[in-house]
Amino acid sequence: MNNKSRENILRAVKRNQPPAEDLVLGEQLPAIRYDDVEAEFIRTLHSIGGTCHLVTGVSGISSALTGNFETGGRWVTTVPGLPAIPRADPLADPHGLENIEVAIVEGDFGVAENGTVWIKETSLAIRVLPFICQHLVLVLPRQQLVHNMHEAYDRIGSAEYGFGLFIAGPSKTADIEQSLVLGAHGARTMTVLLLDQ
């Protein structure tokens, strides 16, 4: 049944599709760029419910963490050089992460136009980690900011990955009378630590 449907669908598509048209994009888009890409990133991130702190070095990360999160509960990290926090085990059962309070993950780069951060699968250890934790912290080198999504995909290029993810702020919903509520199913807060090395 499956194979027959495949052939039938492809045949119908081929028969019904109009003559092929080349892809000619309009005038090269002067996609938006900002005078101060970092300021714009921070502004946008705040507007979508995220938080941002500028930190210097590993000690800056540690003090930002202890200063902003209660130390009780289970923490894990995938960021190297944070000895006090247990490393996430890529081979662990993802269901066992249910009680994670804070997860600290490395961001690859941020996008100023929408406050989103690209995270590589290798930085996640386990795919569900940034969703299942209560609080998500992304460590992002402050030089790693692009202006818009076109630059973002130029930067990703043809990288091979099993999974890749843009995260923009905490999990949210407005399904009840359009009232915005942070913390739907994923992390309830999202903090970016912009790292000055």
Partner 1 sequence: MEKQQPSHAALSEQFNADEARVDWHDETLWWVRQKRDKAAWTLPEWEQLRENASRIKQHTLTNLHGYLLDFERQAQRNGVIVHWAKDGDEHNAIVHGILQQHGADRIVKSKSMLTEECHLNKYLESKGIDVVDTDLGEHIVQLARETPSHIVLPCIHKKKEEIGEIFHRFLGTPKGNADPEFLTHAARLHLREKFLSGRVAITGVNFAVAETGEFVVCTNEGNADMGAHLADVHIACMGIEKVIPQRGHLGVFLRLLARSATGQPVTTYCSHFSKPQAGQEIHLVLVDNQRSTQLGRDDFRSSLKCIRCGACMNTCPVYRRSGGHSYHTAIAGPIGAILAPNLDMRDHADLPFASTLCGSCSNVCPVKIDIHTQLYKWRQVVTAEGYGDKSKTLPMKMMAAMLATPLLYRWAGKLGRWVMRYLPAIVSNRFNPWYKHREMPDAPKHSFGEWYRKNRS
Nearer to partner 1, 17 or 59 (CB): 17
The set of residues, in sequence order, having a beta carbon less than 8 Å from that of 143 and lying 6+ positions away, is: none
DSSP string, 39-96: HHHHHHHHHTT-EEEEEEHHHHHHHHHHHHS-S-SEEEE-STT-TTSPBP-TTS-GGG
Query: Which residues between 95 and 124 bind partner 1 (CB under 8 A)?
Result: 95, 98, 113-116
Angle value at C-alpha 169, between 168 and 170, nearest 5 degrees: 130
Contact characters 53-72, partner 1, x per CB under 8 A: --------------------
Least distance CB 80 / partner 1 (angstroms): 22
Q: Which stretch binds partner 1 (CB under 8 A): 1-9, 64-72, 80-88, 137-145?
A: 1-9
Nearer to partner 1, 75 or 118 (CB): 118
Distance CA 101, CA 7 (A): 50
Nearer to partner 1, 5 or 59 (CB): 5
If binding is defined by CB under 8 A, does position 167 make contact with partner 1?
yes
If binding is defined by CB under 8 A, does position 10 make contact with partner 1?
yes
